[in-house]
Amino acid sequence: MRRRSVLLLVSGALAVAGVLVPSLAIKQSHGDTRITGVVVNGGQPIVLGPTGRVDFGFSITAEDNSGISSVDGVGLWGSDYGALRSSAIHCTARSATVSVCTGTSSVDIAAQQIFDSMAGTWYVQATAHGRDGDRRTETKAGSFAILKAGRLSSFGAPQTAAPGATISISGLLERPEWKTQQWVPSPDQPVRLEFCAKGCTAPETVATVSSDSEGQFTAKVRVDRTGTYTWSYPGKDWAEPVSSYGVQVTVR
């Protein structure tokens, strides 16, 4: 009985957020209507710093043998009951059977529309209606990412070094905390030190380290050529990739 009550509470929360549970989506779908594509923010992740608001657009492509009359019931949702509202949806017929329907949405940190646990993969829910009465509801019609920005700095490298000398290069990795709207250290993250000699076409990785509890890290490398050292963070499912400014070390 307790488990059933919990499930009902979860289902109720999703309904309030405008998100259907999968069983409801199946019941609301019939006929040959299909949602064939969803693109959010031009296919690029939505990246947020510690403050600010981002407005973005999305498109939903739908198909039915009689044509598409409308797309509605659009919601954008993520983990921990994350939910964003969409604008009104406008559809344009591309052929007798296919329509592309567009809308906009936004995410505002100051308005508490998103919390730290919600960074990562989000989904688009939508219902497409055919002109013959068919319809298709998808709770995961498409996916997109809302990621945390990163800030990566480099310090401690000497401007010059003798050939064969070992030098130390340090750095700091920070991430935004949406709860406090501040930059904070990002611990236990892998960071690469990349080197690019003068005229190189692609950098080489010369060291890989992890940030400590304060978001800091240091690598020691042996130098034999003049070039530029750059810290690079590959990112994760909740954070964007980011690089520091390059620091040139002249070997002479």
How do residues 55-100 score in pLDDT, each as one tens digit?
999 999 999 999 999 999 999 999 999 999 999 999 999 999 999 9
pLDDT tier, 25 (very low <50, low <70, confident <90, very high otherwise): low
Question: Quick one: pLDDT at residue 82?
Answer: 96
Question: Strands 34-40, 53-63: parallel, antiparallel or unpaired by DSSP?
Answer: antiparallel
Q: Domain limits of the chain?
A: 2-148, 151-251
Cα 158 from chain centroid (whole Å): 36
Mean pLDDT for 203-223 is 97
Same fold across 2-148 and 151-251: yes
Which residue's structure tokens are 């490398």? 221
Tokens of 25: 């989506």
Which residue's structure tokens are 């109720």? 12
Pick 2-148's CATH classification: 3.40.1160.10, 3.40.50.360, 3.30.930.10, 2.60.40.10. Answer: 2.60.40.10
pLDDT tier, 5 (very low <50, low <70, confident <90, very high otherwise): very low
CATH superfamily, domain 151-251, is Immunoglobulins (2.60.40.10)
For the CA atoms of 186, 190, 191, 196, the dihedral, rounded to the nearest 10 degrees, stands at: -160
Whether the predicted pLDDT of 4 surpasses 50: no
pLDDT tier, 193 (very low <50, low <70, confident <90, very high otherwise): very high
pLDDT per residue as tens digits for the range 90-138? 999 999 999 999 999 999 999 999 999 999 999 999 999 999 999 999 9
